[in-house]
Structure 1
Amino acid sequence: MKERGKIEKLWREEKYRVLFHDQNAYHSIRTLLKSPTTLGEVKEHITHALTITPTKGSVINAFEHMWGYFKKQCTQYEKQHSRELKALYIENQIDYFELLSFLKNLADKYAVEYLQQSTILNITK
């Protein structure tokens, strides 16, 4: 695989994990990818982004981006459950692992390969 292919594969796998940590880092890497860059540079930017502690806002933002893959095909129960989980997370009654677990289950149920390959949905407690 050529270097550009490796870069695109890495970004495809890590983009929601980066967004989960910091939206500014996410946008910075997207900008970096629009010009010639190396795999090493991209890895370095991703590694730095992952050192940033996620905020409630960044977690909810990433959750909503990933939720977008399901909202048109999911059941009414799943839509309601999504809203409830989000509210519980905002109120500090559950941690973000509950949100990610819910999304992982949906990605598997609806066979959303793009999300199944995303590293964010493979994080464990």
Structure 2
Amino acid sequence: MKRRGMIEKLWTEEKYKVMMHSQKHYNLIREELKKDISIETLEILINDAFKITPESGSVINTADHMWGYFKKVCTAAEKNEYMRLKEAYKKEEVPAEKMLAFIRKSADKYEVDYLQKSTVLHK
């Protein structure tokens, strides 16, 4: 695989996990990807992001971004379940993993390859 392809593959896999940990790093990496970034530099920036503990707001923001893939195709029951899980997470009644597991299930059901490759949805 060529260098650019390796960089794109890594970013596809880690994009939402980075977003969850640090919006600042997410934005920085997006800017760096417009330049001639090396895979090593990208790995360093990604690992730096993972050192930051996700905040509730960033978890919700990331989940909402991923949920956007389904909002036009999901059933009313699925939408209600996502909203229920999101509210329960906000109230600290369920862990983020419950919400992410539901998104993973939806990615599999609707065959959203891009999300299926995302490490944030793998436990």
Q: TM-score range by the shorter chain?
A: over 0.9
* Corresponding residue for residue 86 of structure 1: 86
Identity %: 48
Structure 1 stretches (4+) deviating beyond 2 angstroms? none
Matched, 1:32 2:32: yes
Matched, 1:105 2:105: yes
* Corresponding residue for residue 18 of structure 1: 18
- 1:112-123 aligned within 5 A: 112-123=112-123
* TM superposition shift of 1:41: 0.1
Task: Give, as a single letter, the amino acid of the residue that structure 2 aligns with 1:12.
Answer: T
Task: Give, as a single letter, the amino acid of the residue that structure 2 aligns with 1:122.
Answer: H
TM norm structure 1: 0.97
Rounded Cα–Cα distance in structure 2 between residues aligned with 1:16 and 1:116: 11
Task: Give, as a single letter, the amino acid of the residue that structure 1 aligns with 2:60.
Answer: I
TM norm structure 2: 0.98
Rounded Cα–Cα distance in structure 2 between residues aligned with 1:72 and 1:22: 28
Task: Give, as a single letter, the amino acid of the residue that structure 1 aligns with 2:80.
Answer: Q
Count of matched residue pairs: 123
Structure 2 residue runs of 5 or longer lacking an equivalent are: none
* Root mean square deviation, CA, Å: 0.6
